[in-house]
Amino acid sequence: MKWNWDVARDFLPHLGKGLLVTLEVTALGSVLAFTLGLVWALALRSPARWVRWPVAAVVEFVRNTPLLVQLFFFYYVLPNWDITFSALTTGVIALGLHYSTYTAEVYRAGIDGVPKGQWEAAIALSLSRGRTWFAVILPQAIRRVVPALGNYVISMLKDSPLIALIGVSEMLQKARAESASSFQYIEAYTMVGIAFILIAYPASVLMRALERRLGH
């Protein structure tokens, strides 16, 4: 099958619309993953077992089940309990929740990397527990883990085509629709692959540069 420039040109506007949806899902999913991940990380360090143990169970369960299964559960099973979201919202929630269990581990490593003397200094200054966390510990911990969090954003971007399976019109879904109508498959899918490379590769280079800069 030969490359057809007319088909590629006709698909380009659809690719742009799908790209915007992909970036929207990735951005919103990342915000959710970073926020929930920090909540999980702080809860896992709670002195109260009734907080720590249930959170640990949820994190392990989500981390050890496939993202696709979670996506289908949210979209097809929850409506049976009158909990309904749009396909786009479902995709954001599934991606954000899934990756929050990994970012929680990243935050944990960052918190553990803060020198013990910082904790002792906060105690010596009689800082409250909340002020110790949010004014002393977390600013240092988050600075250490920014590159790792960025890598998970890239991973989330590459997993975003899974939401096409519940009908979200992101790049892959647009390519499937275009291929079904024109019976030309090579152009649409190739352009989607190139789009992912053009986004993910510069982002990965930026993350490596950021890691080196923060490392100094």
pLDDT tens, residue by residue, 171-213: 888 888 888 887 888 888 999 999 999 998 888 888 888 777 7
As to burial, measured by CB atoms within 10 angstroms (0-12 exposed, 13-18 middle, 19+ buried), residue 29 is buried
Neighbours of 42 (CB within 10 A): 17
What does the pLDDT average to over 146-166? 90
End-to-end distance of the chain based on CA atoms, in angstroms?
Answer: 51
Three-state DSSP at 127 gives coil
Fill in the amino acid letter for 17. K
Mean per-residue pLDDT of the chain? 88
Tell me: pLDDT of 155 over 90: yes
Residues 6+ apart with CB under 8 A from 200: 154, 157, 158
Tell me: pLDDT of 166 over 60: yes
pLDDT of 146: 85
Nearest C-alpha neighbor of 200 from the set 20, 31, 23, 24: 23
Encoded tokens for 41: 């990380």
User: What is this structure's pTM?
Assistant: 0.88
Tell me: pLDDT of 141 over 80: yes
* pLDDT tens digits, one per residue of 41-98: 999 988 888 999 999 999 999 999 999 999 999 999 999 999 899 999 999 999 999 9
Query: How does residue 1 score in pLDDT terms, banded at 50, 70 and 90?
Result: low
As to burial, measured by CB atoms within 10 angstroms (0-12 exposed, 13-18 middle, 19+ buried), residue 64 is exposed
Hunting for tokens 């899902």 — which residue is that?
A: 25
pLDDT of 131: 83
What structural domains does the chain harbor?
Answer: 5-215 (1.10.3720.10)
Three-state DSSP at 46 gives coil
pLDDT of 132: 81
